[in-house]
Amino acid sequence: MTVRMPRDVYEGLRALSFANHTSINELVLRALGNHMASAGHRELVEAAATRVSEQYRVALAKLAEL
């Protein structure tokens, strides 16, 4: 698989991989894993918030009137 990126991003990854004694591939895999975990958590929180707001719609409307 090939990932295209600007030269400065590549150079930054190269320097970071050298400093951390790891491969660029490992850095990219970690970054993607972290991003996917974060996005998945955000989606779960948004779904829960939607579910709760629908479940307590009447109560929330009454509180808004106060």
Residue 63 confidence (pLDDT)? 86
| pLDDT for the residue 37 | 84
- Please name the residues in contact with 13: beta carbons below 8 A apart, sequence gap of 6 or more: 5, 24, 27, 28
Q: What is the pTM of this model?
A: 0.58
Residue 21 DSSP symbol: T
pLDDT per residue as tens digits for the range 16-54: 999 999 999 999 999 999 888 887 888 888 889 999 999
User: How many residues are given for the chain?
Assistant: 66
Q: Where are the domains of the chain?
A: 7-65
